[in-house]
Amino acid sequence: MLSRRIIPCLDVRDGQVVKGVRFRDHVVMGEIVDLALRYRDEGADELVFYDITASPEGRSVDRTWVERVARVIDIPFCVAGGIRSVDEARAVLHAGADKISVNSPALERPELIDELAGAFGVQCVVVGIDSLRDADGQWRVRQYTGDPDKTQALARGTLDWMVEVQRRGAGEIVLNCMGSDGVRQGYDLEQLRAARAVCHVPLIASGGAGAPEHFRDAFQDADVDGALAASVFHSGAIAIPELKRYLAREDVAVRL
């Protein structure tokens, strides 16, 4: 039986792992390879590196760290952030990443998803979606969420966008439910269930994990394939080995 995946997400800026208190106040947490190895040893099933390095005018981001990670890490990893073209994706994949994840650039130009799937196969192409419920009760997509000053609410409905990205070649979808992100009150199960109903590729829950029960609920109530979290792992509030043993006791299929 396929195991449910536990996926720590690490923010990377200029080749180091940082913790964003606010968008501009990042604290360096450590060397990327050291932290990647720590999570690997603790039993993470996969890692996501969210590259928040600002791209200088007309230059591509320095991603030599991807190769350093690929040399030492023997679990799959995905690189997200700032990938806007097939060429940029190719550089990241050839450096050793298993998957690339696109979010805002896919909203700017949805054909990017088709191009990436055509070039590398759907199994390499993850689409990240930031979603928030509006006052009228509808979930809609947000763009440029890396910077609160630039974040835009789009007219695009979250579930419609999920259907479209699958049609275009997304091999996996990470749904970040912004309403629950960072507050550790649990994943947005209602939204994840609605997403699950229209998502026929692997679905990863993101935003809201604060306790082991939240992971169980996402897997059992919303039937997601993986659960992504950042702060609860980085702070040590939840240790992955204990989390997985807990999930196994709750009859969630995990890799121990």
Taking the C-alpha atoms of residue 30 and residue 175, their distance in angstroms, rounded to an integer, is 27
**Smaller CB distance to other proteins: residue 99 or 142?**
99
Task: Give the one residue of 78, 106, 113, 124 binding other proteins; rule: CB under 8 A.
Answer: 124
Closest CB 228 distance from other proteins, rounded Å: 13
Within 10 angstroms of residue 136's Cβ, the number of other Cβ atoms is: 6
- Name the nearest CA neighbour of 51 among 21, 18, 27, 8: 18
Tokens of 39: 């999570």
**Residue 194 near residue 139 (C-beta atoms within 8 A):** yes
Closest CB 158 distance from other proteins, rounded Å: 19
Find tokens 């992100």 and name the residue: 181
**Smaller CB distance to other proteins: residue 17 or 126?**
126
Closest CB 192 distance from other proteins, rounded Å: 14
Q: Hey, which residues between 76 and 115 contact other proteins (CB under 8 A)? A: 76, 90, 93-96, 98
Tokens of 241: 């080995």
**Smaller CB distance to other proteins: residue 51 or 181?**
51
**Smaller CB distance to other proteins: residue 5 or 216?**
5
- Name the nearest CA neighbour of 51 among 34, 69, 38: 69
Stretch that binds other proteins, among 53-61, 178-186, 194-202, 229-237 (CB under 8 A): 194-202
Closest CB 96 distance from other proteins, rounded Å: 5
Contact call for residue 171 and other proteins (CB under 8 A): yes
- Give the catalytic positions in this structure: 11, 130
- What is the residue-wise DSSP string for 15-79? TEEEEESSTT-EEEEEEHHHHHHHHHHHT-S-EEEEE-PPPPTT-----HHHHHHHHH--S-EEE
Binding site for other proteins (CB under 8 A): 1-5, 40, 45, 67, 70-72, 74-76, 90, 93-96, 98, 120-124, 171-172, 199-203, 223, 225-226, 255
